[in-house]
């Protein structure tokens, strides 16, 4: 293989393995791997990290403009750039979707329409008339989600009394009381606390125009709806909401003021060093609004830092348009890029990998966060997803960062070992009662939050998932802990969660292809024989859903309709996930793997990249989809590397012999025999 360059353009050594080590490789694989390595190295930031765009949908852009309108800081340049992007996402029928090729979505279409009205697009323009007609045909504003109607209520386009009540007194509920704020997933918690302040104050700023054209009947925009039966959960929570509306009229003023003051302190205490909240855009938006309503002027340091952080979510494009990211993913992207490069043969001491390791080590979180409410005695450790998010490290990133660091021969191994030890201990401490792992919290499984009339915007709890659990199990296997009782409980949970089809559900990636692509490598790394029935069922399912072109794809609609499981246009990332599972299951010489590898080789672009307009990432299943722009690079390279050089860890794996990995080799082999016997 030819020499490569690191992210700063410094000549570097090529991969550690040569083609001769992998007889029978398909033609073109080595060249495709070289191109992909060069492309990824060229994208590394000089500081050592990688970050691809995180594309979601136009509600992020619309709500950014509505925030600026509410605060009185909307300017023409920003509005023009945002409108360019929003218009560019509109389809021929006048609607907007929440993912590429997806069906029209009512709330997204309403918010995009309002954003274009703010930008000056007249309601009788053809593209606007098509949008408003479609909105009316689907029930108008009254049929939109609660979050959309909250935004409209800020300008008097909807009545606050027609929204679910969110009392700020919620912050006083102790963690053992149902529906306390820690019963919600961290992303929902960070959003709900500031919204309790907004709901209590019910602000209305003068609307710049009317929106009568978005109602089915402008004279009666919110017709009465029949309540659910009292004996049902929905009926019970609807009546509780009515009681809260009544409570609002009689809430003691001192208690309400104390609740809002407590909420303000809670918000400010969780502002990150870069001014954001949790590293994600929605909580930042609502926190800024809440604090502004409580008297924090725009020049206040908290507000100034918050607004500056929101500007960093903007991606300016060559055509002059401006896209807003809901979040940024540098830690996730960096650890996945390091894994891809190492598995593709880049030397463990390559400058690019050393810079990535140094940057990841600098991002370790060593202070406590909200997770400690459920795990008060657990020492901090681990990594978050974003540049700055010390309050909410996550279990998934921590597992993958450990797996990345284990591939790198860092000149200060003691420093690496100490960070890994803290991360592993923290992840083990975050195991839920059922033996599995969620993303941010332990045992965040209350059935009540999803029942609230307010919670119609997506997943609001953080139960354990197969993909996160699989990544933790894989990490523990690499750390020589396959025989540990906690690891075995995780493995048992994964085996019990397998679908009848042979697939696993993917919570944070789309969907069954992602879940299966995560679980099978974890189980085999932990020593489950490739002949195990669960592995064979997974292989059979993957082979059954392979597309004619040799790739794999799965549409977001599989979250709503299981008939879509494993079905969709082939994508580079999903093809790679399927290949990673098949390769770990010992199928390297199989026809499915050959066709999948050939698909990646043939669809690669000349610059070493792959094109992928489809959304293969997941924020909330079905409700919030993500196109991680780096997924199309890191996962295909990982699959190609493992095809050429084999599995990265385990008996005979190339990392167990390195100086940083010797300690794991013996326990892994020993535990493999134990698991094989149990299986």
* DSSP letters for 38-92: HHHHHT--TTS-----EE--THHHHHHHHHHHHHT---HHHHHHHHHHHHHT--T
Q: Indicate if 302 and 412 belong to the same structural domain.
A: no
Q: Which H/E stretch holds residue 12?
A: strand 11-12
Q: What is the pLDDT of residues 208-242, one digit of tens each?
A: 999 999 999 888 888 777 777 877 877 887 888 89
User: What are the distances in angstroms from CA 306 to CA 262, 268, 271, 299, 341?
Assistant: 19, 10, 8, 11, 36
CA–CA dist 16, 669 (Å, integer): 24
Residue 13 has pLDDT above 60, yes or no: no
Q: Indicate if 44 and 78 belong to the same structural domain.
A: no
CA–CA dist 336, 630 (Å, integer): 9
* CB atoms near residue 193 (< 10 Å): 26
Four-residue CA torsion sign, 585, 589, 593, 598: positive
Domain that holds residue 134: 55-216+230-324
Average pLDDT value for residue range 101-111: 97
Which of 324, 346, 370 is the endpoint of a domain?
324
Residue 224 lies in a domain: no
CA–CA dist 190, 192 (Å, integer): 6
* Radius of gyration for the alpha carbons in the chain, expressed in angstroms and rounded: 25
Q: What is the pLDDT of residues 354-405, one digit of tens each?
A: 999 999 999 999 999 999 999 999 999 999 999 999 999 999 999 999 999 9
CA–CA dist 221, 159 (Å, integer): 10
Question: Residue 38: which of 580, 637, 644 has the closest Cα?
Answer: 637
Task: Give me the pLDDT at residue 39, please.
Answer: 98
Q: What is the pLDDT of residues 595-611, one digit of tens each?
A: 999 999 999 999 999 99
Mean pLDDT of the chain, nearest integer: 91
Three-state DSSP class for residue 564: helix
Cβ distance 173 to 257 under 8 Å?
A: no
Q: Indicate if 318 and 438 belong to the same structural domain.
A: no
Task: Give me the pLDDT at residue 501, please.
Answer: 98
Task: Give me the pLDDT at residue 222, please.
Answer: 81
Residue 345 has pLDDT above 90, yes or no: yes
- 390 is known as an active-site residue: no
CA–CA dist 39, 33 (Å, integer): 10
Question: Residue 32: which of 579, 627, 617, 650 has the closest Cα?
Answer: 579
Residue 621 has pLDDT above 80, yes or no: yes
User: Tokens 């279990």, residue?
Assistant: 395
Average pLDDT value for residue range 108-115: 98
The pTM (predicted TM-score) of the whole model is: 0.92
Three-state DSSP class for residue 505: coil
Residue 15 has pLDDT above 80, yes or no: no
Burial class (CB in 10 A: 0-12, 13-18, 19+), 522: buried
User: What are the distances in angstroms from CA 277 to CA 91, 148, 190, 509?
Assistant: 33, 21, 8, 24
Three-state DSSP class for residue 256: helix
φ/ψ (deg, to 5) at 509: -150, 155
Residue 107 has pLDDT above 70, yes or no: yes
Q: How many domains does the chain have?
A: 2
Residue 63 lies in a domain: yes
Q: Indicate if 303 and 389 belong to the same structural domain.
A: no
CA–CA dist 463, 497 (Å, integer): 13
Residue 230 neighbours by CB under 8 Å, 6+ apart:
236, 239
Q: Indicate if 263 and 363 belong to the same structural domain.
A: no
* DSSP letters for 420-476: HHHHHHHHHHT--TTS---SSSSSB--SSGGGSTT--SS--SB---HHHHHHHHHHH
Dihedral of the alpha carbons of 657, 662, 664, 666, in degrees to the nearest 10: 80
Q: What is the pLDDT of residues 518-561, one digit of tens each?
A: 999 999 999 999 999 999 999 999 999 999 999 999 999 999 99
User: Tokens 């809670």, residue?
Assistant: 266
Residue 126 structure tokens: 């053809």
Q: What is the pLDDT of residues 53-73, one digit of tens each?
A: 999 999 999 999 999 999 999
User: What are the distances in angstroms from CA 245 to CA 143, 166, 229?
Assistant: 21, 9, 19
CA–CA dist 401, 335 (Å, integer): 5
Residue 222 lies in a domain: no
Average pLDDT value for residue range 160-172: 95
Burial class (CB in 10 A: 0-12, 13-18, 19+), 542: buried
Task: Give me the pLDDT at residue 230, please.
Answer: 78
What sections of 498-590 are H helices per DSSP? 512-525, 533-544, 572-584
Q: Indicate if 134 and 271 belong to the same structural domain.
A: yes
CA–CA dist 33, 22 (Å, integer): 14
Q: Indicate if 357 and 280 belong to the same structural domain.
A: no
Question: Between these two residues, 9 and 329, which has the higher pLDDT value?
Answer: 329
Average pLDDT value for residue range 90-116: 97
Q: Indicate if 68 and 43 belong to the same structural domain.
A: no
Q: Indicate if 369 and 273 belong to the same structural domain.
A: no
CA–CA dist 453, 662 (Å, integer): 54
Residue 154 lies in a domain: yes
Residue 306 lies in a domain: yes
Which of 303, 324, 345 is the endpoint of a domain?
324
Name the catalytic one among 183, 333, 343, 396. 396
Lowest mean pLDDT among 10-14, 185-189, 625-629: 10-14
Q: Indicate if 301 and 320 belong to the same structural domain.
A: yes
Task: Give me the pLDDT at residue 201, please.
Answer: 97
CA–CA dist 69, 117 (Å, integer): 12
Residue 6 lies in a domain: no
Residue 565 lies in a domain: yes
Residue 9 has pLDDT above 60, yes or no: no
Q: Indicate if 318 and 333 belong to the same structural domain.
A: no
Four-residue CA torsion sign, 156, 161, 166, 167: positive
φ/ψ (deg, to 5) at 365: -100, 125
CA 599 centroid distance within chain: 27
Cα atoms in the Cβ-side hemisphere of radius 13 Å centred on 216: 12
User: What are the distances in angstroms from CA 249 to CA 158, 273, 293?
Assistant: 20, 39, 20
Confidence of residue 455 (pLDDT cuts 50, 70, 90): confident
Question: Residue 299: which of 78, 71, 75 has the closest Cα?
Answer: 71
Residue 123 lies in a domain: yes
**Terminal alpha carbon distance of the chain:** 41
Cβ distance 313 to 374 under 8 Å?
A: no
Cβ distance 514 to 558 under 8 Å?
A: no
Burial class (CB in 10 A: 0-12, 13-18, 19+), 28: middle
Task: Give me the pLDDT at residue 648, please.
Answer: 85
Which of 289, 324, 359 is the endpoint of a domain?
324
Lowest mean pLDDT among 120-129, 293-302, 436-445, 662-671: 662-671
Q: Indicate if 496 and 408 belong to the same structural domain.
A: yes
Name the percent of the chain lying above pLDDT 70.
Answer: 92
Task: Give me the pLDDT at residue 484, please.
Answer: 96
Residue 443 structure tokens: 């045992």
Dihedral of the alpha carbons of 33, 37, 40, 42, in degrees to the nearest 10: -140
φ/ψ (deg, to 5) at 5: -120, 150
Whichever domain contains 414, its CATH number is 1.50.10.20
CA–CA dist 516, 476 (Å, integer): 19
Residue 67 neighbours by CB under 8 Å, 6+ apart:
285, 288, 289, 310
CA angle 529–583–350, rounded 5-degree value: 115
Three-state DSSP class for residue 574: helix
């Amino acid at each position: 293989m030819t020499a490569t360059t690191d992210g700063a353009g410094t000549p570097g050594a090529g991969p550690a393995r040569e083609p001769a080590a992998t007889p029978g490789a398909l033609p073109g694989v080595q060249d495709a791997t070289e191109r992909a390595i060069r492309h990824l190295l060229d994208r590394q930031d000089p500081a050592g990290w990688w970050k691809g765009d995180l594309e979601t949908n136009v509600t992020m852009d619309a709500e950014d403009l509505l925030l600026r309108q509410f605060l009185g800081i909307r300017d023409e340049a920003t509005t023009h750039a945002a409108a360019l992007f929003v218009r560019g996402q509109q389809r021929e029928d006048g609607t907007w979707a929440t993912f590429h090729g997806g069906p029209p979505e009512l709330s997204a279409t309403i918010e995009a329409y309002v954003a274009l009205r703010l930008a000056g697009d007249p309601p009788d323009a053809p593209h606007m008339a098509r949008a408003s007609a479609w909105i009316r045909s689907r029930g108008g504003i009254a049929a939109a989600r609660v979050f959309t109607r909250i935004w409209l209520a800020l300008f008097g386009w909807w009545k606050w009394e027609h929204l679910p009540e969110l009392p700020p007194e919620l912050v006083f509920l102790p963690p053992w009381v149902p529906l306390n704020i820690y019963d919600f997933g961290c992303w929902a918690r960070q959003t709900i606390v500031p919204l309790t302040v907004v709901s209590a104050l019910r602000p209305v700023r003068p609307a710049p125009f009317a929106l009568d054209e978005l109602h089915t009947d402008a004279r009666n925009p919110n017709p009465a709806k029949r309540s659910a039966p009292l004996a049902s959960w929905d009926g019970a929570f609807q009546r509780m909401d009515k009681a809260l509306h009544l409570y609002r009229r009689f809430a003691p003023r001192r208690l309400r003021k104390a609740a809002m003051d407590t909420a303000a302190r809670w918000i400010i205490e969780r502002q990150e060093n870069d001014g954001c909240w949790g590293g994600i855009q929605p909580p930042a938006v609502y926190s800024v609004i809440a604090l502004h309503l409580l008297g924090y002027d725009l020049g206040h340091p908290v507000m100034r830092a918050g607004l500056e952080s929101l500007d960093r979510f903007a991606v300016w494009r060559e055509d002059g348009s401006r896209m807003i990211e809901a979040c940024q993913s540098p830690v996730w992207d960096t650890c996945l890029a390091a894994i891809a490069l190492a598995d593709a043969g880049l030397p463990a001491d390559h400058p690019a990998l050393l810079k990535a390791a140094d940057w990841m080590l600098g991002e370790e979180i060593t202070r406590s966060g909200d997770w400690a409410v459920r795990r008060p005695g657990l020492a901090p450790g681990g990594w978050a997803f974003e540049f700055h998010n010390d309050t909410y490290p996550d279990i998934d990133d921590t597992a993958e960062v450990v797996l990345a660091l284990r591939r790198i021969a860092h000149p200060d191994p003691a420093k690496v070992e100490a960070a890994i030890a803290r991360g592993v201990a923290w992840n083990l401490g975050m195991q839920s009662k059922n033996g599995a792992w969620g993303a941010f919290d332990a045992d965040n499984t209350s059935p009540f939050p999803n029942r609230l009339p307010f919670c119609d915007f997506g997943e609001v709890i953080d139960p354990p998932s197969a993909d996160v659990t699989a990544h933790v199990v894989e990490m523990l296997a690499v750390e020589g802990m396959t025989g540990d009782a906690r690891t075995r409980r995780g493995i048992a949970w994964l085996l019990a969660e397998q679908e009848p089809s042979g697939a696993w559900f993917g919570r944070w990636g789309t969907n069954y292809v992602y879940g299966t692509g995560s679980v099978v490598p974890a189980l085999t790394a932990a020593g489950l024989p490739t002949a195990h029935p669960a592995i064979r069922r997974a292989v059979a399912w993957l082979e059954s859903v392979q597309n004619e072109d040799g790739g794999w794809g799965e549409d977001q609609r599989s979250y709503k309709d299981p008939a879509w499981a494993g079905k969709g246009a082939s994508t580079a990332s999903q093809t790679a996930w399927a290949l990673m599972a098949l390769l770990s299951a010992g199928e390297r010489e199989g026809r499915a793997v050959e066709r999948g590898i050939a698909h990646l080789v043939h669809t690669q672009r000349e610059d070493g990249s792959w094109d992928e307009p489809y959304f293969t990432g997941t924020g909330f299943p079905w409700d919030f989809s993500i196109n991680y722009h780096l997924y199309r690079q890191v996962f295909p390279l990982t699959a190609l590397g493992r095809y050429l050089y084999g599995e990265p860890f385990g008996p005979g794996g190339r990392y167990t012999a390195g100086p940083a990995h010797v300690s794991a080799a013996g326990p892994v082999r020993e535990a493999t025999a134990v698991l094989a016997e149990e299986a």
